[in-house]
Structures are given as structure tokens and as C-alpha cells.
């Protein structure tokens, strides 16, 4: 394990119970596994994703995605229904876009299950399976606005969100621009009420007024990066090429409970 206390990034060769605990116990802010997928897999998978094609988020203009984020449902019953109706189909779409490589989020789910004593499951909600493995495409010059990720906002008063102790962002970087595209993190944790107030009518907060981020991580192709999604975070604009990732969240509900994954 190689730990730089200055920026609180733990870089390791593989996911393990120990490095997951370091992240969960807030000893580190970011856990990075370089080479989670190799460069040939990155090339084949990014071609497969591009060939499938991206469509825009329902509520975040100019941000492309394959699959759907539960964040897009915005508590609207018809969109929630659509999310669940397409969840398994979207998992299969991701798999076929990655073929002949395994979809890296499937591999991630297996490794999490292998390493965490209580295992790791696909998240259930309203007695239905959620989707996992959202692929995002960010165009050059356009940042992902600052936000935190709160499952509870989108599914309030459910046992699945009430039991959540913490929520982590998971990203596998399949094609990242040479310049820009950093994951920026601020140490602040704001209440969801404050966040919703400060973001106004945008899906997130503008980055500049927040001042310098407390840390930035520049992802490399093939990296798996996990971080505390309750911290304010953003993606800085990249230059030249699109930035392609496959993403998820994982939830922690105590040492003897299974971890869970969803998008």
C-alpha cells in the first residue's frame, strides 16, 4: 500500500477488505486501483460504448450516458417505472458494448463480493433490482458541476436509504483526456437542504465560486477510483477528447452488512 497523507489518496494493486475499510473509516478520501482494466480492454470497451452511442441525461444537459441514473428519476413515478423496467436490459446493453471483455462493473461487483466478508449485492429498491454500470461521456470543455450524491433524496423514507451509513462513488476510467478531466473534491459536507438551495435551478453548483478544491485526482485509463460521494465533488473540464467512464455507487451499512451497488 502506498499512502500519501497529504492528499489522502490510497493507491493499491487490488481491492481488499483492508483498503475498503480505510475508505469506509475515512482514513482516506480516495482509493485508487490503477490498471483495474488493461489498455487493450480500455480501447475495445471505449469503441463499443461509442458504437452503441450516448444519449443526454434527462436532467443534466450536455452530459451523455448509456443506462440511466436513479438521480434522473427526480421522484417522478413514470420515470421511476421506466428506470426499473429498463434496469436489467441496461445491464445487458453495457455487457454487450464491452464484449468480448467482461463489463468492468461486473468484475467490480464480483471483487467486492469476494473481498467483503458479508458480500456485495445489486441494490434492491421497492422490491426491484436497480441498474448498475452507468457509462458517462463528458464532452471536452464542459465540467460536471459540483454536487454530492445522496441516495436518500431520490428514494426518501425507504429502508434501503434509511439504513445507509455512507455512499461512495465508483468510477472506472476507460478513455480520459490527456489534459483536464480531474475529479475535484472539497472536504465540506453540506446538508442536502443546503446543497439544493445553493445549486438553484442547475443540477449542481458552479465550480468557480467554490474556490480551489481541497484535492484533485487525475484519472488514467484503466483506473478504478472510489471516493466518499458525500463530499462536494466535481469533474473539471477536459480538453481535446471525450471522457468516458463506467460508474456506480456503493453503499455501506455496517461491518457485518453486505455492501450494495447501484447507479
Ligand X SMILES: O=C(O)CCC(=O)C(=O)O
Residues that bind Fe ion (CB under 5 A): 149
The x, y and z cell numbers of residue 68, run together, are 440511466
Using CA atoms, how far residue 219 sits from 37, 140, 158, 178, 261, in Å, is: 13, 15, 34, 10, 21
User: Is the omega angle on the peptide bond into residue 100 within 30 degrees of 0, that is, cis?
Assistant: yes
Which of 123, 135, 247, 263 binds ligand X (CB under 6 A)? It is: 247
Give the distance, in angstroms, between the CA of residue 222 and the centroid of all CA atoms in the same chain: 15
Residue 69 partner contact from Fe ion, ligand X, none using kind-dependent CB cut-offs of 5 to 8 Å: none
| Residue number, 227 or 256, with CB nearest to ligand X | 227
User: 3-state class of 42 per DSSP?
Assistant: helix
Residue 171 partner contact from ligand X, Fe ion, none using kind-dependent CB cut-offs of 5 to 8 Å: ligand X
Which residues inside 133-152 make contact with ligand X, applying CB under 6 A?
A: 144, 149
| Residue number, 149 or 160, with CB nearest to Fe ion | 149
Provide CB contacts within 8 A for 137, sequence distance 6+: 49, 54, 63, 64, 65, 242, 243, 244
Check binding of 229 to ligand X (CB under 6 A): yes
| Residue number, 160 or 223, with CB nearest to ligand X | 223
Under 8 Å between Cβ of 257 and 120: no
Check binding of 65 to ligand X (CB under 6 A): no
Which of 235, 237, 244, 246 binds ligand X (CB under 6 A)? It is: 235
| Residue number, 98 or 183, with CB nearest to ligand X | 183
Which residues inside 179-218 make contact with ligand X, applying CB under 6 A?
A: 183
Check binding of 167 to ligand X (CB under 6 A): no
User: 3-state class of 51 per DSSP?
Assistant: helix
Check binding of 123 to ligand X (CB under 6 A): no
Main-chain phi, psi angles of 186, to 5 degrees: -105, 145
Summarize as ranges the residues that interact with ligand X (CB under 6 A): 144, 149, 169, 171, 183, 229, 233, 235, 245, 247
Amino acid at each position: 500500500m502506498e499512502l500519501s497523507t497529504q492528499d489522502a489518496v490510497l493507491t493499491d494493486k487490488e481491492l481488499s477488505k483492508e483498503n475498503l475499510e480505510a475508505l469506509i473509516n475515512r482514513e482516506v478520501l480516495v482509493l485508487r486501483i490503477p490498471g483495474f482494466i488493461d489498455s487493450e480492454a480500455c480501447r475495445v470497451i471505449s469503441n463499443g460504448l461509442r458504437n452503441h452511442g450516448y444519449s443526454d441525461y434527462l436532467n443534466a444537459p450536455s452530459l451523455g450516458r448509456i443506462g440511466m441514473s436513479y438521480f434522473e428519476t427526480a421522484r417522478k413515478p413514470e420515470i421511476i417505472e421506466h428506470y426499473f423496467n429498463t434496469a436489467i436490459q441496461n445491464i445487458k446493453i453495457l455487457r454487450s458494448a464491452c464484449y468480448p471483455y467482461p463489463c468492468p462493473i461486473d468484475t467490480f461487483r464480483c471483487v467486492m463480493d469476494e473481498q467483503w466478508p458479508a458480500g456485495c449485492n445489486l441494490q434492491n429498491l421497492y422490491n426491484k433490482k436497480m441498474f448498475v454500470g452507468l457509462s458517462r461521456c463528458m464532452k471536452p470543455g464542459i465540467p460536471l458541476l459540483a454536487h454530492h450524491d445522496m441516495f436518500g433524496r431520490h428514494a426518501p423514507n425507504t429502508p434501503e436509504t434509511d439504513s445507509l451509513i455512507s455512499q461512495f462513488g465508483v468510477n472506472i476510467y476507460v478513455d480520459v483526456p490527456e489534459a483536464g478531466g480531474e475529479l475535484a473534491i472539497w472536504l465540506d459536507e453540506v446538508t442536502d437542504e443546503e446543497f439544493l438551495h445553493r445549486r438553484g435551478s442547475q443540477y449542481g453548483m458552479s465550480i468557480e465560486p467554490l474556490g480551489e478544491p481541497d484535492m484533485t485526482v487525475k484519472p488514467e485509463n484503466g483506473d478504478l477510483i472510489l471516493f466518499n460521494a458525500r463530499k462536494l465533488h466535481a469533474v473539471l473540464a477536459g480538453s481535446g477528447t471525450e471522457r468516458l467512464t463506467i460508474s456506480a455507487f456503493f453503499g455501506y451499512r455496517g461491518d457485518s452488512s453486505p455492501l450494495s451497488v447501484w447507479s
